[in-house]
Structure 1
């Protein structure tokens, strides 16, 4: 599957399709069971042409288990890890002022759970005709992000059709995007602002994610939009 959007914004990486499946692709890369790993590191690999797979035992971390949609956080330690670092064997992240704020944040996350054995990251070009992704993730620089935010607002009269949430990198690229897919007017999500995830992505990149049906809608708008006009041509030339 080719993307008009990717071509129009001069994307030098593949858009990544998020799929649910009961079959693991034979050539998929995957974390070893019980070993720590960041989901975003495999998202980056998928944008470079690899296929990645996750199941409940190979999520990489407890945040990845929630971000991928396999299971909820267990309370007790996580609210301290996100805040004051107490009751933790490792240093706390101090992303929330106190454990109570962290608990409320955790409760605010979408209740999106996988109904299949695997979550698959595939380069969009490798998605087969019989497959329907749940979402599409673009890894973009500032110029490309400006184009995607503008495109997300092109076919609606409103101004808030792209947004950004606090959360782990896998929250912003997966479960929050899948949750948007349940909305009547889904938004595009800017992500990878999580400092812990940024270590696994190039320093000039953020993510822009769309529920699959919204992605298809915007694919159909490319040729009628600013992406074919002079202002964007000037920006595209320097990308």
Structure 2
């Protein structure tokens, strides 16, 4: 599948399709069942031309299971959701249950995770605020056996329809995609930057947007943990912009006649 947007932007990285599927592609990359891994690392491999597949036993981490739409995987976090809310915020060493679970974590998990479990990642100020984050997060179970990441260029338009198309781009091209998302619409909030895990900003959040009458673009990879795992493959100067399929198709038709054919855009990218 060719993209008019990609041709106009000429990004360093090719766009990736996020797809729901009943079958796993041959030779797809993936995590071993029950083994930890970062979904965004697999996404980075898809950006570089590979295909990756996930199911309900191979989503890598609890946030990844949530992000890919396999239900509330935070319930499977050591100590359950109460320990997760402290993990993401102020840590588990302040309460007895957390300390007990933390001992088991220290014996069976890596040093970094054990430290974060006890002392917290400090991404949110308090466990109560994490509860509010989880209430707002569109946790869902789409019911599909597999979530697939594959280069958009390898999608067969005659037989396949992506859920989302994700661009991995520098600030100039983020700007262009935000403008293009707004180009054929009224208002000024046709792109959003929600606070969430990197996989959630290319998974369940655009999945939820797709259910709207007017789906919005979702800017992501603001998750610094995900940036840590992708920087060697993607570099440091990129964000993701996830386009629900209907919005992607709308934006494709809006490239002709838009600013992407005008001198301001051309002068900006030609300077590079």
Q: Does 1:38 align with 2:44?
A: no
Kindly report which structure 2 residues correspond to 1:10-89, keeping only aligned pairs within 5 A, or say none: 10-72=10-72, 73-74=74-75, 75-86=81-92, 87=98, 88=102, 89=105
Q: Displacement, 1:236?
A: 2.1
Query: What is the rounded CA distance, in whole Å, between the counterparts of 1:28 and 1:18 in structure 2?
Result: 14
Query: What is the rounded CA distance, in whole Å, between the counterparts of 1:7 and 1:200 in structure 2?
Result: 28
Do the aligned residues in 1 keep the contact of 2:218 with 2:243 (CA within 8 Å)? yes
Q: Which has the larger radius of gyration?
A: 2
Aligned-residue CA RMSD (Å): 1.1
Query: What is the rounded CA distance, in whole Å, between the counterparts of 2:236 and 2:18 in structure 1?
Result: 23
Q: Does 1:100 align with 2:128?
A: yes
Do the aligned residues in 2 keep the contact of 1:20 with 1:115 (CA within 8 Å)? no
> What is the aligned partner in structure 2 of residue 130 from structure 1?
159
Query: What is the rounded CA distance, in whole Å, between the counterparts of 2:141 and 2:244 in structure 1?
Result: 15
Kindly report which structure 2 residues correspond to 1:108-147, keeping only aligned pairs within 5 A, or say none: 108-128=136-156, 129-147=158-176
Q: Unaligned regions of 5+ residues in structure 2, if any?
A: 76-80, 93-97, 106-113
Q: Unaligned regions of 5+ residues in structure 1, if any?
A: none
3-state DSSP class of the match of 2:242?
strand
Q: Displacement, 1:238?
A: 3.3
Query: What is the rounded CA distance, in whole Å, between the counterparts of 1:76 and 1:149 in structure 2?
Result: 37
* 4+ residue runs over 4 A deviation: none
3-state DSSP class of the match of 1:234?
helix
Q: Displacement, 1:42?
A: 0.8
Query: What is the rounded CA distance, in whole Å, between the counterparts of 1:184 and 1:226 in structure 2?
Result: 25
TM-score scaled by length of structure 2: 0.85
3-state DSSP class of the match of 1:106?
helix
| Count of aligned pairs | 239
Q: Displacement, 1:133?
A: 0.6
Kindly report which structure 2 residues correspond to 1:180-219, keeping only aligned pairs within 5 A, or say none: 180-201=209-230, 202-219=235-252
Question: Quick one: which of 137, 149, 160 aligns to 2:178?
Answer: 149
TM-score scaled by length of structure 1: 0.97
Do the aligned residues in 2 keep the contact of 1:191 with 1:207 (CA within 8 Å)? yes
Kindly report which structure 2 residues correspond to 1:167-178, keeping only aligned pairs within 5 A, or say none: 167-178=196-207
